[in-house]
Amino acid sequence: MRIVIVGGVAAGMSAAMQVKRRRADAEIVVLERGDFVAYGACGIPYNLEDPARDIEDLVVRTPQEFRAHGIDVRLRHEVLSIDPARKLVRVRHAAGIWDLEYDRLIVATGASPLVPPIRGVDRPGVHVLRDLSDAAKIKQRIAGGEVARAVIVGGGYIGMEMAEALRQRGIAVTVVERLGRVVFGFEPAISDIVRDELLRLDVRVETDASVDSIDEQLSVHTSAGTVAADLVLVSVGVRPNVALARDAGIALGPTGAIAVDEGMRTSLPDVFAAGDCAEAHHLVADSPAYIPLGTTANKQGKVAGANAAGAHEVFAGIVGTAAFRVFEVEVGRTGLGRADIERAGRDDLVSISTHASRGHAFPGSAPLTTVLFVERDTGRLVGAQMAGRGVVGTRIDVFATALHANMTVDDIERLDLAYAPPIAPVYDPILIAASVARKDLERARRG
């Protein structure tokens, strides 16, 4: 039994480890076109902000270590095509092009950065950030002392994390965002907190500014003016790497990523897909979604690997939980946001509250702002967002759990949550948010 895996990062290597655990006799071949496998891309911004750390610190296991576990990892091997009828992949390496047969195939080709058609975007000094090779180039330029000013094109979460990383290296940073505010997937109340934190740390924020061109000196010309830079980072999102699958006849879903069932099977027999190239079932929207995240990639890879090895595991689905930090502010979301609600033609109530992160007058207590989206008829929570200078990540996880359990805001308000002044107030912001939402709902129902 030969199991071939295309792509060797979160999804691909989780799949490989799972196959190994379940079928010690299987031959496992991982084909990775890049220079690294099994690294934590999510840690890149924090590695970049620390000049003492080697970028390869982010590698969890090297190809040699995988080989010692009986997993044949081949770097700089690109899969050019899949022939499902003959069950083989065509592979290109410096040594030539050849075909490799498979019994089961796992497509874990991930995603690639979107690069908008801006004049000058291909100049040296303009970077994207997706993998360790991208990160190494940025780190090298900073270490060379060439970067005093940086422009980040795109105000998404990676742009925010990179604004922090570059500021920590003493670099003057400007964030240029085409839309009206940073982290546009969040409500304005949340975006404002993020913007204020950027401004507090002297990051310039240009919103409603689309980039027209980048000139030879790396000055970025936008609809709002010109910003001089020594380094430009384009971070405007990703698209799933689906060409390989699509050309082999594997069905794509409505989001444009690879359609999979709950066992991570694609439309072709013996071919699985996982991670940022694939869709996931959104449990709240009850529809396929494309929310490319490391957490999902790891879990989907595990299920794909298990099932490729003959098991019957299920990936239950996602509720769209994500969090990030920018300087001292934590930000998180789960469930549906405004765009999802509008797209689905829903009429959910939006409730905003702000409450202290810690016990009354406890040092370090700071306001946390919570936005809840609530189904009007039932009071069921359908989405939550939170931001502030306190613990947000684990609080968002409570809301995510509530979504998994189909809880109403009444249910959430009755939760027995911990209280200790350094950790949380008597009424945690979660309970306050649920209570405020319940009252908002009652008011709305009364008309």
Ligand X SMILES: Cc1cc2nc3c(=O)[nH]c(=O)nc-3n(C[C@H](O)[C@H](O)[C@H](O)COP(=O)(O)OP(=O)(O)OC[C@H]3O[C@@H](n4cnc5c(N)ncnc54)[C@H](O)[C@@H]3O)c2cc1C
Please list every residue from 121 through 150 that binds ligand X, using CB under 6 A: 129-131
| 356 counts as binding ligand X under rule CB under 6 A | no
Print the binding letters for residues 91-110 with ligand X: x by CB under 6 A, - otherwise.
-----------------xxx
Q: Identify which of residues 31 and 336 has a Cβ nearer to ligand X in the complex.
A: 31
Q: Which of 164, 276, 279, 428 binds ligand X (CB under 6 A)?
A: 276
Stretch in the footprint of ligand X (CB under 6 A) among 195-203, 286-294, 310-318, 374-382: 286-294
Residue with the closest Cβ to ligand X?
A: 110
Q: Identify which of residues 57 and 342 has a Cβ nearer to ligand X in the complex.
A: 57
| 294 counts as binding ligand X under rule CB under 6 A | yes
| 295 counts as binding ligand X under rule CB under 6 A | yes
Q: Identify which of residues 33 and 380 has a Cβ nearer to ligand X in the complex.
A: 33
Task: Assess whether 42 carries a catalytic annotation.
Answer: yes
| 367 counts as binding ligand X under rule CB under 6 A | no
Structure tokens at 431: 């309970």
| 293 counts as binding ligand X under rule CB under 6 A | yes
Q: Identify which of residues 35 and 65 has a Cβ nearer to ligand X in the complex.
A: 35
| 16 counts as binding ligand X under rule CB under 6 A | no
Single out the catalytic residue among 42, 283, 293, 417: 42
How many CA atoms, within 13 angstroms, populate the side-chain half-sphere of residue 174? 21
For residue 422, the Cα-to-chain-centroid distance in whole angstroms is: 30
CB 422 within 8 A of CB 360: no
Q: Which of 165, 176, 280, 297 binds ligand X (CB under 6 A)?
A: 297
| 49 counts as binding ligand X under rule CB under 6 A | no
Stretch in the footprint of ligand X (CB under 6 A) among 146-154, 206-214, 222-230, 290-298: 290-298
Where do contacts with ligand X occur on this chain (CB under 6 A)? Answer: 6-7, 9-12, 31-34, 41-42, 44-45, 78-79, 108-111, 129-131, 158, 241, 244, 275-276, 292-295, 297
Known catalytic residues?
A: 42
